[in-house]
């Protein structure tokens, strides 16, 4: 494996949200690199808002995954847009953001962590965002997205503490990819100094994953491997 040499040969990667964007790019890169790649997507029948579909897909895995990369997220869409003021808060928008950005990834982790091997490096990583950092929040706004990503960061941290006792070689990470040219960021790219393609972002994040150690489990890292405060 030229992309992930710190893993054992014969890597099995499970990519959640592999129909496009960063997830699709990761799946393509790893497949071209010789890894066994399992792709989960809504089009393929795995819906993060449907716990049963997650459990069914996990039960159908034919081999334990060495890498689980959850590359899903929602910022805007029908009934959901980034808030600019407290008065714009909506219960429905908050619920939608939390369902996709926090609850769904947590349920994926619940389903797959027990399946992952012991005694060797394994990684579960989920796409988060710098704006989910409470300590780094100086601008306000984007309430639902910020809060749901902050919840994801806390879930990753909490699960990592337990997994350190159960599987000391396992690493759980929340990852900030930077601004990526995707449908999620498209309406908000004006003024962005550095815009990555999905493939560039995937390569950066796979590099961070490859260099990650158990001592970093539970952290929120950016695309350069730098720690972002919770």
Residue 169: name the closest of 132, 213, 211 by CA. Answer: 213
SS (HEC) of 188-206: HCCCCCCCECHHHHHHHHH
Looking at residue 181, what is its pLDDT? Answer: 77
Tell me the β-bridge partners of 126: 70, 174
Residue range 26-50, pLDDT digits in tens = 999 999 999 999 999 999 999 999 9
> How does residue 53 score in pLDDT terms, banded at 50, 70 and 90?
very high
CA separation, residue 146 to residues 41, 73, 112, 151, 208 (Å)? 24, 12, 26, 9, 23
- pTM over 0.75? The answer is yes
CA gap 100, 47 in Å, rounded: 9
Is the pLDDT at 161 greater than 80, yes or no?
yes
For residue 190, the model assigns a pLDDT of 59
* pLDDT value at residue 182: 63
- Any bridge partners for residue 130, and if so which? none
Task: Provide mean pLDDT across the span 89-109.
Answer: 96
Name the average pLDDT for the chain. 93
Cα separation, 164 vs 91, whole angstroms:
35
Question: Considering the domain 12-222, what is its CATH architecture?
Answer: 3-Layer(aba) Sandwich (3.40)
Residue ranges in the chain assigned as alpha helix (H): 21-32, 51-59, 91-98, 104-112, 143-166, 198-211
For residues 217 and 102, what is the distance between their CA atoms, to the nearest angstrom?
Answer: 18
Residue ranges of domains in the chain = 12-222
Q: How far apart are CA 74 and CA 152, in angstroms?
A: 13
User: Which pLDDT band holds residue 101 (cuts at 50, 70, 90)?
Assistant: very high
C-alpha span between 105 and 69 (Å, rounded): 10
């Amino acid at each position: 494996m030229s992309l992930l040499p710190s893993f054992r040969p014969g890597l099995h990667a499970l990519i959640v949200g592999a129909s496009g964007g960063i997830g699709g790019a990761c799946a393509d890169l790893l497949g071209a690199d010789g890894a066994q790649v399992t792709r989960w997507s809504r089009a393929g029948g795995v819906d993060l808002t449907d716990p049963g579909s997650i459990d069914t897909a996990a039960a159908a895995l034919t081999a334990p995954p060495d890498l689980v990369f959850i590359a899903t997220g929602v910022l805007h869409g029908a009934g959901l847009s980034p808030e600019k003021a407290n008065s714009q808060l909506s219960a429905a928008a908050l619920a939608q953001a939390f369902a996709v950005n926090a609850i769904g990834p947590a349920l994926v982790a619940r389903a797959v962590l027990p399946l992952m091997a012991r005694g060797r490096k394994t990684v579960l990583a989920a796409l988060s965002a710098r704006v989910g950092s409470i300590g780094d929040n100086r601008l306000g706004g984007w309430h639902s997205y910020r809060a749901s990503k902050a919840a994801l960061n806390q879930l990753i941290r909490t699960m990592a503490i337990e997994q350190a006792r159960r599987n000391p070689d396992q690493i759980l990470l929340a990852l900030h990819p930077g601004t990526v040219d995707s449908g999620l960021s498209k309406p908000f790219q004006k003024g962005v100094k550095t815009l990555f393609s999905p493939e560039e972002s995937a390569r950066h994040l796979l590099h961070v994953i490859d260099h990650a150690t158990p001592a970093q489990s539970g952290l929120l890292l950016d695309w350069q491997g730098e720690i972002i405060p919770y």
